[in-house]
């Protein structure tokens, strides 16, 4: 399933914009199906409101019931398909909708999909009208069950003295808001009937040359020919070949590197495929980078050189659009990543939009690409049905992102109950299956506080041990003086047991912006700064040994479900939800520029690295 890209043979019609929208507020949530809302315009079934696509529907209105709604919501709009496409293959694609989705065109079901965050599509030639308007109707259900990713449960409250009839709540097993709706772009696109169906590229480096192994999957009649060309960033041909598979050599290759101050990062080539079959010619251009990723017992290597990940964990989260695709937010976030000096991030805790990964590829930000496997904590989350769905999700994720140079690591889960005996065979299967899908990248999951180096049953299968650590916050709250001792002991113990390099994939403290106290106190900006500083001291002691990365939790504040432990969301961001820096962001920026250029800055906050002072630049030019 190639990402839709225009070419001489391919055209795209985006269906983004305002759609009609209605939530099915009936007690059963099935009125839309009973009354066949898909059989005509949604407005004929009752009141509708305008709803932007892409967006999360939760924060668009002032309706509390809609914000917290669980069940089926319905969208529709009209669109046209050019008569020029009549003799082409016409495809409808939805980049992401959360969670279960059914799609109709002109009242006929054309596709369905289970799972949020990843794309799905179907050929629709037999459903569309080329000489008049078409109606697309989309129903999306955000209900989470023990076998979904992420999992959840529905709890019915049956006490008539406390709850009205039919009252239920969605219980979440993760700490972020269950935003829902059509989150990413909806497109209709056209290709020739004989077309390029898939491309897989892997690269190696031999001396000054880049070796590009490729496989093209044609959907074409027998006798089709395939020609391939590699072009440099200026559009000049540097290699060529033919056939559905082969190896090409790029002489004096410019390698893809993560962002640094001293080198040119993120060099991208273009892999151009031309498929010819009968009267059809299909052309597809795939941006790619030449780079390698490998792991030793103590190092993470990119292009054979040690790479230290100094970055952040993120969330796709904005004030208004929830998890909806937002180009302004994407641009802002990458500017703030560069401002911080971050060279990597983890897509916690689900796959991000392809447009985000495009920017990571182009701007040189490495990615730990994580599945939506967050909250796998109950026994029924490890069932055969759950495992089958998890394997399917990993197939979808790898298929989507396999050619991206920025993706250096796959993460199959976040903070599962990996101390349970059942977790061993479960994650052996998930990790093994993912490794079968892609042998070129290490595989990890983020280990949470419920599992220790003594009890964990799944870390034995990963390539890098990733741990989330919250000493001084969830334990010994407020006592920064014990962080160093506890963190150092724990990290060394993990390494001594498993003998694998390590990344601290989370560490952080909730911080209310503008709240100050001296001496520092929990929830103040001073405490976040002091808390992080204690972690940094340990990181500096271990990063020359087996520690290969540190990622603060979190890049920015984000919304969570309502609860007494969160004040309008998780406040562990070094940036506010509006992307304004807290005091700790300046500490982190100073540290990351020090790590990036290996000079020794002065410190605004009492950290005496010594040596010459090197200030981070105040303006980042991409």
CA separation for the pair 290, 231 (Å, rounded)? 12
**SS3 call for 283:** strand
CA separation for the pair 403, 318 (Å, rounded)? 28
CA separation for the pair 604, 591 (Å, rounded)? 11
Answer yes or no: are the C-beta atoms of 329 and 556 closer than 8 Å: no
Of 357, 408, 401, 386, give the one whose Cα is nearest residue 115.
Answer: 386
Q: Which two tokens stand for residue 402?
A: 């396999």
Of 275, 285, 353, give the one whose Cα is nearest residue 89.
Answer: 275
CA separation for the pair 469, 415 (Å, rounded)? 11
User: Which residue spans within 372-416 are E strands per DSSP?
Assistant: 407-414
Answer yes or no: are the C-beta atoms of 121 and 110 closer than 8 Å: no
Answer yes or no: are the C-beta atoms of 279 and 87 closer than 8 Å: no
CA separation for the pair 181, 165 (Å, rounded)? 26
Q: What is the DSSP string of 64-99?
A: HHHHT--SEEEEEEEE---GGGTTSEEEEEES-EES
The DSSP letter of residue 26 is S
CA separation for the pair 437, 597 (Å, rounded)? 35
Cis peptide before 340 (omega within 30 of 0): no
Q: Let me know the angle formed at the C-alpha of 116 by 459 and 142, rounded to the nearest 5 degrees.
A: 115
CA separation for the pair 255, 236 (Å, rounded)? 16
Q: Name the pairing type of β-strands 366-370 and 344-346.
A: parallel
Q: Which two tokens stand for residue 252?
A: 């004096």
Q: Let me know the angle formed at the C-alpha of 419 by 414 and 420, rounded to the nearest 5 degrees.
A: 105
Q: Name the pairing type of β-strands 366-370 and 407-414.
A: parallel
How many Cα atoms are found within 13 Å in the side-chain-facing hemisphere of 273?
A: 28
Active centre residues (catalytic):
415
CA separation for the pair 217, 284 (Å, rounded)? 12
The DSSP letter of residue 318 is B
Cis peptide before 150 (omega within 30 of 0): yes
Answer yes or no: are the C-beta atoms of 451 and 442 closer than 8 Å: no
Tokens 């309706």 identify what position?
Answer: 63
The C-alpha torsion from 166 through 171 and 176 to 180, rounded to 10°, is -40
Answer yes or no: are the C-beta atoms of 609 and 588 closer than 8 Å: no
Of 364, 383, 361, 490, give the one whose Cα is nearest residue 151.
Answer: 383
Tokens 């390590």 identify what position?
Answer: 502
Q: Which two tokens stand for residue 119?
A: 């794309």
């Amino acid at each position: 399933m190639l990402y839709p890209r225009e070419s001489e043979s391919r055209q795209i019609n985006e269906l983004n914009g305002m759609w009609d929208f209605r939530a099915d507020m009936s007690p059963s949530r099935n009125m839309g199906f009973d009354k066949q809302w898909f059989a005509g315009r949604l407005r004929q079934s009752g009141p509708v409101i305008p709803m932007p696509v892409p967006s999360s529907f939760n924060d668009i209105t002032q309706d509390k019931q809609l914000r917290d709604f669980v069940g089926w919501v319905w969208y529709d709009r009209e669109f046209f398909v050019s008569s020029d496409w009549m003799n082409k293959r016409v495809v409808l694609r939805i980049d992401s909708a959360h969670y279960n989705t059914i799609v109709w065109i002109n009242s006929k079901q054309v596709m369905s999909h289970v799972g949020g965050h990843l794309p799905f599509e179907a050929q629709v030639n037999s459903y569309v009208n080329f000489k008049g308007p078409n109606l697309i109707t989309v129903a999306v259900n955000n209900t989470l069950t023990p076998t979904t990713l992420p999992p959840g449960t529905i709890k019915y409250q049956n006490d008539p003295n406390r709850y009205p009839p039919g009252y239920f709540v969605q219980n979440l097993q993760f700490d972020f808001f269950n935003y829902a709706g059509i989150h990413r772009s909806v497109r209709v696109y056209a290709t020739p009937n004989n077309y390029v169906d898939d491309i897989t590229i892997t690269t190696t480096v031999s001396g000054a040359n880049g070796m590009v192994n490729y496989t093209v999957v044609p959907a074409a009649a027998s006798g089709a020919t395939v020609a391939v060309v590699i072009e440099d960033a200026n559009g000049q041909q540097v290699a060529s070949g033919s056939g559905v598979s082969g190896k090409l050599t790029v002489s004096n290759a410019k390698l893809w590197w993560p962002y640094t101050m001293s080198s040119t990062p993120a060099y991208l080539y273009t892999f151009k495929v031309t498929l010819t079959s009968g009267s059809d010619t299909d052309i597809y251009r795939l941006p790619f980078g030449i780079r390698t990723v490998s792991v030793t017992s103590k190092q993470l290597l990119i292009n054979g050189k040690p790479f230290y990940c100094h970055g952040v964990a993120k969330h796709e989260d904005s004030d208004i659009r929830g998890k909806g695709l937002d180009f302004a937010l994407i641009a802002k976030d990458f500017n703030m990543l560069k401002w911080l000096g971050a060279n990597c991030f983890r897509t916690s805790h689900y796959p991000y939009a392809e447009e985000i990964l495009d920017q990571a590829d182009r701007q040189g930000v490495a990615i730990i690409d994580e599945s939506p496997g967050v909250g796998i904590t109950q026994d029924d989350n490890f069932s055969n049905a759950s495992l089958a769905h998890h394997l399917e999700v990993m197939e979808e994720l790898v298929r989507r992102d396999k050619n991206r140079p920025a993706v250096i690591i796959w993460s199959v889960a976040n903070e599962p109950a990996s101390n349970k005996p059942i977790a061993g065979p479960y994650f052996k299967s998930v990790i093994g299956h993912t490794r079968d899908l892609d042998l070129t990248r290490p595989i990890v999951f983020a280990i949470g506080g419920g599992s220790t180096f003594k009890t964990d049953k799944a870390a034995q299968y990963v390539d890098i041990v990733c741990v989330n650590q919250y000493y001084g916050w969830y334990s010994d709250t407020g006592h920064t003086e014990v962080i160093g001792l506890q963190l150092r002991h724990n990290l060394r113990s993990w390494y001594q047991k498993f003998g694998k390099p390590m990344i601290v994939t989370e560490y952080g403290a909730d911080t209310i912006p503008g709240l100050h106290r001296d001496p520092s106190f929990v929830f103040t900006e001073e405490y976040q700064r002091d808390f992080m500083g204690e972690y940094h001291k340990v990181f500096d002691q271990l990063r020359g040994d087996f520690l290969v990365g540190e990622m603060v939790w979190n890049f920015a504040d984000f919304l969570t479900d309502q609860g007494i432990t969160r004040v309008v969301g998780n406040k562990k961001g070094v940036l506010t939800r509006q992307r304004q820096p807290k005091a700790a962001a300046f500490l982190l920026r100073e540290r990351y520029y020090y790590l990036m250029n290996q000079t020794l800055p002065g410190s605004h906050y009492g950290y005496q690295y010594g040596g010459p002072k090197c200030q981070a630049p105040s303006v980042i030019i991409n």
